[in-house]
Amino acid sequence: MANMNQKSISPEKFEFVNMNTRLTDVKFDDKPIGYFKDAWIRFRKSKAAVVATGIIILIFLFSLTAPLFTRNEATFMDTYYAKKGPYINGLREIGIADGSVRRDFSEMGLIAKIAIGMGAEDWEGTGKVTLEQGMESEYQPIRKVSDPFIQMDAAKREKKYYHGRIDAYAEVGFIYKSIEQPELQRMLDWEKETGLHLLYPLIEDNEWNPEPKSANYWFKCKKYQPVFVSEDGKTKNVVYKPGMTLDDNYKRDADGNAIKWEYTGGGSFETAHIKVRVLYRNYYIYQNNFEPEYIFGTDSQGYDLMLRLAGGLRLSLLLAVSVSVINFIIGAFYGSIEGFYGGLVDLLMERLSDILSGVPFIIVATLFQIHLATKVGAVPCLIFAYVLNGWIGIAYRVRTQFYRFKKQEFVLAAKTLGARDMRLIWKHIFPNSLGTIVTSTALIIPSVIFTESMLSYLGIVKLGSATTTSLGTLLADASAIWTNYPHLMILPALFISLLMISFNLFGNGLRDAFNPSLRNVED
Amino acid sequence: MLKYVIKRLVLMIFTFFIIIMMTFILVHMLPREMPLEKNLQAIIQARWEALGYNKPILTQFGIYLKNIFTKWDFGTSWYISPQKGAWEVLENGFLPTLLVNLYSMLVSVPVGIMLGVYAAIRKNKWDDSLISTLVMVFISVPSYVYAFLVQYFLYFKLGWLPLTMYSLADAGGSYFTWKMFTSMIPAILALSFGSIAHYTRFVRAELTESLTSEYMLLARTKGLTRPQATARHALKNAMVPILPSILSEFINLLAGSLIIEQIFSIPGVGQLYIKSLTLFDYDVFMIDCVFYTFIGLLAGIVLDLSYTFIDPRIRMGER
């Protein structure tokens, strides 16, 4: 019936909707979303992955820009300031990063440390400096002392002890230096110029000096017990109390003035060796023209730990990224050829990768290091070891993808249109496997970082030198002493853990983004 | 089926042989130094003469293989325990490595499976996200960091446990004393954190997959309660990939963990590797390499074969 009605409509009633303009396909307003864009949108949605990427970028920037935050040179090593904690000048005054450590002191131990500050105030060598003056000195290592408490010592005698905090940098105190005449002149000029005191009176090497090699016992001691010595040679123990003074043991000339330098041997005026006693902090400033400042402290050898860490991170990242790129390339080629040609080629190549994958990584790394490290360097050796069978996983994935796609219609169509093998492989089939292999390539990075730190920790790979280091080497250096110097272990361990977590999250984010069907399916 | 097993075994032996040959050649190309002592020098000289060290390297390899097959002789240790057979030296390392890793596995497998099951059942609830986040952290943090943390808290702060494992003499001459066990606890803990996280993640992933399968719907439809269906159907199926992995993990743990053994001074196979390397005790190094290769290949083959035994649906030779 409806048809009948339609037929009865007269032609005049019809009119054209559009006669004036030509209608063409309208261009899309927004850009088409391709495979990678789609993945990127999904990746952005995963908060953990985005945060992890941010952390990775921050760590990467830190490893590159760390030298800008400090005036220290990466190759500068200061053995006196080794194993010290973080020391930042701006924060030091308010008690953060002041390089101080908690320690318990016996009474004589406490006096010996306080004496460093007292001695630093007494550049003239008068010996008339009190405890209060010494405590106010900026060179005073003791930052806090508790009230005494009584405890049994090893010989079961009751002894007084003090809890305290000590500035590990100021604790270095004084050192002896053997210098030549021009150097001495420079030091004297420098003292005048800056108003800081560098040269301090020398100490007599007599029965009252318990440790002639140390420049810190400037006061009279009887077997480390600070004493007053009267004219007739009788001794009286020094007691730690307000207003305490110490009996100085300075070298004096006939007039009773303290001697600050002494000729110790050597030829002419120019080359003669002169022994001086310098305050180390000022000596550091004299040498470097800036105050000591170590944001992360110093490592076990006396390098700036921040620069060492940045160097280690750089090495780890460089290694990890180059290994994954090389593995990606080899795996892509190998897997493509295997998967595309199949048959005998596939069988032979599979056997080869079967054999290679059986080789334990640790043995490869070891043998490469022994044989080649001296010829091509430790890092390239390590890369070889990683690459030897690291690409097999990627090749296997590519091969699987090729088997999935090579029989599909679009490939057949391309083939019919005359595409060559290479074009089929790279233009038509390979891009389909890109998602999976990008993910597995990204997940190579954390495992490389971990194994590298493990190998260098165990000493199988030796990466520590004046210019380069690795996180594992830093940890290995710290492993014997870290309970006394926790920052040596905590900082590298923290960075490496952070890096591992971030890269794993990043990899998982990539996987979820490229293969949404695999979301939440781990392993 | 038998054909497949034999094929795999033959291939494994072939691979093993090639890797061992390469390792042997590389190890024997290293320069060898004589100790300073005259008597020892003469003994070593005589021994090397017998092993054909002045002959071409492939002949040496032939002699090496012949000695292994006829006399089970893997060479001699000169430095670690002088003039003992390399096999004997390696043998001494088996027990401590096995014990520490076995204890750790006894802790981590049940705990990991329980956590994984719990997380899968509570999927997308707050406790699942908590577990998943912790798992991510614990999987990523390197094992030596746990070792340091364990040492720091249990030894330095609390003083409950020793810093490193006791030597055999200190603990009364046996690895099975209580004292020895307590000294192993730090190492066991350090190993367990990562393993627990690994198993939790694995179990959670497998179980969530089987919980959403259609046979679960069927099971619920025919009247099973949720716990019944989960325990009898989902868990059973989820175990198919998990059990082989536990099995191959068990074989792998015979090789020990280099870094944990070094940190806790466990006199095991891993420490032997480092020791033989630093002391240039090549015969011991060689046998350790042989052992590692063997363990790695065996674990792989067991993983593949056990799938078929556990779940006959998985066809042979299919990957």
**CA gyration radius, chain B:** 24
- Give the HSE-up count for residue A343: Cα atoms under 13 Å, Cβ half-sphere: 3
Which letter does DSSP use for residue A401 in this model? H
Q: Which residues contact B302 (CB under 8 A, 6 or more apart)?
A: B244, B247, B248, B251
Instruction: Answer yes or no: are the C-beta atoms of A394 and A440 closer than 8 Å.
Output: yes
Using DSSP's 3-state secondary structure scheme, residue B176 falls into coil
More confidently predicted of A343 and A93: A343
CB atoms < 10 A from the CB of B75, how many?
Answer: 21
Q: Which of A24-28, A445-449, B81-85 has the highest mean pLDDT?
A: A445-449
Q: What is the mean pLDDT of chain A?
A: 85
Instruction: Answer yes or no: are the C-beta atoms of B254 and B269 closer than 8 Å.
Output: yes
* Token output for A327: 């593995």
pLDDT band at A227 (very low <50, low <70, confident <90, very high): confident
- Span A41-90, pLDDT tens digits: 888 888 889 999 999 999 999 999 988 888 888 788 888 888 888 888 87
- Span B68-77, pLDDT tens digits: 888 888 888 8
- Among candidates A142, A123, A224, A216, which has minimal Cα distance to A176? A216
Residue of B14, B26, B145 lying closest to A497 (CB–CB):
B145
pLDDT band at A520 (very low <50, low <70, confident <90, very high): very low
Amino acid B319: pLDDT: 41
> What does the CA dihedral B292, B298, B303, B308 come to, rounded to 10 degrees?
180
* Token output for A393: 């996983």
- Chain A residues whose beta carbon lies within 8 Å of the beta carbon of residue B15: 354-355, 358
Is some CB atom of chain B closer than 8 A to the CB atom of A412? Answer: no
- Span A481-513, pLDDT tens digits: 887 888 888 899 999 999 999 999 998 888 888
- Span B188-243, pLDDT tens digits: 888 899 899 999 988 988 888 888 888 888 988 988 888 888 888 888 888 888 88
Please give the C-alpha separations between residue A503 and each of A58, A509, B199, in angstroms, as whole numbers.
Answer: 13, 10, 20
More confidently predicted of A251 and A268: A251
Helix ranges restricted to H, A263-377: 280-288, 305-341, 343-357, 361-376
Determine the Cα–Cα distance for residues B235 and B111; give it in Å rounded to an integer.
15
Nearest CA in chain B to A397: B319
Is some CB atom of chain B closer than 8 A to the CB atom of A421? Answer: no
Q: What is the mean pLDDT of chain B?
A: 84
**CA gyration radius, chain A:** 36
Backbone angles phi, psi at A224, to 5 degrees: 75, -10
Residue-wise DSSP of B121-171: HTTTSHHHHHHHHHHHHHHHS-HHHHHHHHIIIIIIIS--S-SSPPPTTTT
Burial of B165 from C-beta contacts in 10 A (0-12 / 13-18 / 19+):
buried
Backbone angles phi, psi at A239, to 5 degrees: -110, 140
Helix ranges restricted to H, A79-140: 89-92, 107-121, 131-136
Across the interface, do A366 and B277 touch by the CB < 8 Å criterion?
Answer: yes
Write down how long chain B is.
319
- State the amino acid at position A26 in one-letter form: V
Residue of A371, A453, A458 lying closest to B262 (CB–CB):
A458
Across the interface, do B148 and A370 touch by the CB < 8 Å criterion?
Answer: no
Which letter does DSSP use for residue B51 in this model? T
**Which residue ranges form the domains of chain A, and what is each CATH number?**
48-67+303-518 (1.10.3720.10), 87-288 (no CATH)
Q: Please state the rounded mean pLDDT for residues A356-376.
A: 86
- Among candidates B257, B58, B43, B28, which has minimal Cα distance to B146? B257
CA distance A318 to chain B (A): 19
Interface confidence (ipTM) of the complex: 0.85
Determine the Cα–Cα distance for residues B97 and A314; give it in Å rounded to an integer.
35
* Token output for A218: 């400037």
Across the interface, do A359 and B30 touch by the CB < 8 Å criterion?
Answer: no
Residue of A351, A362, A367 lying closest to B292 (CB–CB):
A362
Across the interface, do A453 and B26 touch by the CB < 8 Å criterion?
Answer: no
- Span A187-210, pLDDT tens digits: 888 888 888 888 888 888 888 888
Q: Please state the rounded mean pLDDT for residues A277-301.
A: 86
Nearest CA in chain A to B141: A497
- Span A461-480, pLDDT tens digits: 888 777 778 888 888 888 88
* Token output for A57: 């970028």
Please give the C-alpha separations between residue A442 and each of A37, A394, B133, B248, in angstroms, as whole numbers.
Answer: 18, 11, 20, 26
Instruction: Answer yes or no: are the C-beta atoms of A260 and A275 closer than 8 Å.
Output: no
Residue B90 has pLDDT above 90, yes or no: no
Amino acid B176: pLDDT: 76
- State the amino acid at position A213 in one-letter form: K
* Token output for B155: 């030894």
Question: What's the whole-model pTM score?
Answer: 0.85
Using DSSP's 3-state secondary structure scheme, residue A107 falls into helix
Is some CB atom of chain B closer than 8 A to the CB atom of A423? Answer: no
More confidently predicted of A413 and A89: A413
